[in-house]
Chains A and B, each alone.
Chain A
């Protein structure tokens, strides 16, 4: 007679798996990838491929030779980190800078904490901020859209947010607005910006796909976008000359990318819906504060990293609603 297999219940398993989730997110990023290649051409292709390849390679090397564990570089998470990192870089930065960013993202942002599931901060953002602080000039010069064959030699300019920040020093919002792309262009993505963050349309399509496939829930993205909308709305209503309108804020910078893909990273975001809302509101507020009152034109990357740090605290105090209220049994 055959030897039976014995294990504790349950004896049925859903078809969900880590690679399935990771590749689901990658699929949802394809529209944004398509748009950025369309606008930024070969530069985007080079940056994206180098970023992905480096992330996978560094994860493999670190796991095999430094941590001495079984390498899991092919489970999709390194690929995703590479793709997201490429999305928040200007498409004209040299490949060796991309590799440094990938090393920071995977090595510092993920592996030092113990690998998948153990990191506190979003690895792609860690890589991005590392590059931003190390190479501020290269990281703040974005190529104009349409230069398909140019890479590091592309003509560059400032993002709409950058224009707004600098302009506000001695002009009013009304005077600056004609200089920035129209709302339609902002929505479609025809603007200066990091590779993947420009097209709000493509990113929103991706978000709908993620929610449909139940990979993320609406709580984080909608709360962040809602908070930013309301906060900037209040400021704009108070003084339309000093503060740009909420729609401008929603469509520019890395907010869409951050709200939909960076802040929703499983490992670094809270576990409960209530916790996610607190997290989203916090990120929204800090983003606007940095954008409007802070030194940098864009604050979403720092806001997300700050609230990644708060996530363990949120998880500790915000518990899911338990079934049945407490009954003291004497």
Chain B
């Protein structure tokens, strides 16, 4: 099959897949974990445990509140030390459950064997229920509750399940490691999601800088209704709108969702989590996290319990050297810079990136020379230079007309700008203000 890609915009930052090929290493348990009750989009879960309670791995410790929300489970066994506000990756304190790790006792209903389970007799409805119960959210980083995505709104029809194995961010290799080592489980997970969604066809997109993964997945998908499609390497191909356009040539409408063109998109990690939830009764308590950076002796892919401190991961990967100036939670294009390593790994943490001093600082900001490179690279067809000027002047109504809410915050514009202008900083500011205006309008 010839290689496809999305048609508008995009950049190609150096890939630096330093940890590519590193086998998934299961880390020893830390001493203490901190599990936030909001690791997903939607309402935070309601805490069910108290200080002093003993918990087991997989035990429900916080319950979903309302429709767009999900459950939180303990990822370790031990004693609840505190239910209080702890800092998250932004430094702001949010409600979390702090647990002292004692042993590794799992809930009995969880199947801990390694045998592949292929089929299930469960109905689509049962599957959705199990996915909610297991606290599955989008592991690509958006952390949208998966059971909500599986419910097709009235009036719309789902035709395809698109699976995102693209991993377009430089440095990150967690999805690649999963596809290479657990290809059969991932395929089974995709089939579970297909049943939960009620579709017959699925396409898995993988960028062709992962030939091993493409080969493994193609082999595992033989005989199924899952098509494995190689894609040309381009950022931000992993953005769901871009991926749907690349694979199916359908453009999600402005202000709409992929379901508007008959598609639902899930990350391969989510497919794996769905497999474990439905076939093994295992809630979401651990995930693969890439720990990488040029200064690390051994860039790795770790399988980590949710709530493990980032400091522990960095220590296990070789420790923090003096030349590291910036630590990023995620990839270099959309990840969040940490002010401290004392924050927990959460469901959406795909990687920890250590950046050296030479590459850490931004360059001096120069005036806009109207080179139009930002227009050329914007995958959504926006005009970042104009949006930045409008945000600086506070002209938020005009920003709404210029479709600022379509921005997916991929960062291609700021990445490309020869004058090093902080385009995305101002666009985000504009989006926040326009969001306020739109909500105020709806309230009237």
Contact = CB atoms under 8 A, between A and B. Distances in A.
Touch between A and B in complex, CB under 8 Å?
yes
B441 to A, nearest CB: 12
Interface string B335-371: 1111111000000000001010001111100111111
Interface in A307-330: 319-327, 329
A266 B241 CA distance: 31
Interface stretch (A115-123, A127-135, A294-302): A115-123
A9 B331 CA distance: 9
A229 to B, nearest CB: 26
Interface in B134-191: 170
Interface in A15-33: 16-18, 20-21
A329 B322 CA distance: 52
A4 B343 CA distance: 14
B118 to A, nearest CB: 38
A315 to B, nearest CB: 8
A321 B382 CA distance: 8
A5 interface: yes
B428 A8 contact: yes
A116 B367 CA distance: 7
B424 A10 contact: yes
Contacts of A116: 366-367, 369
Interface stretch (B73-81, B277-285, B412-420): B412-420
B224 interface: no
Interface in B216-272: 241, 245, 251-256, 260
A6 B381 contact: no
B383 interface: yes
A1 interface: yes
Contacts of B322: 2
A267 B370 contact: yes
Q: Majority SS of interface residues in chain A? A: loop
Contact of B251 (A75, A325, A329): A325
Interface stretch (B24-32, B95-103, B207-215, B372-380): B372-380
A271 B383 contact: yes
B232 to A, nearest CB: 18
B419 A2 contact: no
Contact of A5 (B256, B325, B403, B411): B325
Interface bin, chain A = 35 or more
Given A2-B324, A4-B338, A327-B260, A320 B383 contact: yes
A9 B324 contact: no
A7 B335 CA distance: 10
Given A117-B370, A266-B371, A327-B254, A13 B360 contact: no
Nearest to B337: A6
Contacts, number: 159
B407 to A, nearest CB: 10
B286 to A, nearest CB: 26
B13 interface: yes
A272 interface: yes
Contacts of B241: 323-324
B406 interface: yes
B418 A20 contact: yes
Contacts of A329: 255-256
Given A4-B338, A327-B253, A321 B333 contact: no
Contacts of A267: 369-370
Contacts of B340: 4
B339 A10 contact: no
Interface in A134-166: none
A322 B254 contact: yes
B108 interface: no
Given A14-B416, A324-B253, A325-B254, A9 B368 contact: no
B295 to A, nearest CB: 12
B360 to A, nearest CB: 5
B436 interface: no
B296 interface: no
Contacts of A14: 11, 13, 415-416
Given A271-B383, A319-B383, A320-B375, A11 B335 contact: yes
Contacts of B419: 17-18, 117
Given A6-B326, A115-B367, A323-B406, 11 more contacts: A4-B338, A5-B325, A10-B334, A10-B414, A12-B332, A13-B414, A14-B13, A17-B419, A322-B406, A324-B251, A327-B255
Q: Nearest 6 A-B pairs (CB), nearest first?
A: A10-B411, A117-B367, A327-B253, A12-B332, A271-B372, A322-B381
10 contacts: A5-B337, A5-B360, A9-B409, A11-B333, A12-B415, A17-B420, A21-B369, A21-B371, A271-B372, A321-B381
Interface of A: 1-2, 4-14, 16-18, 20-21, 72, 75, 115-118, 266-267, 269, 271-272, 319-327, 329
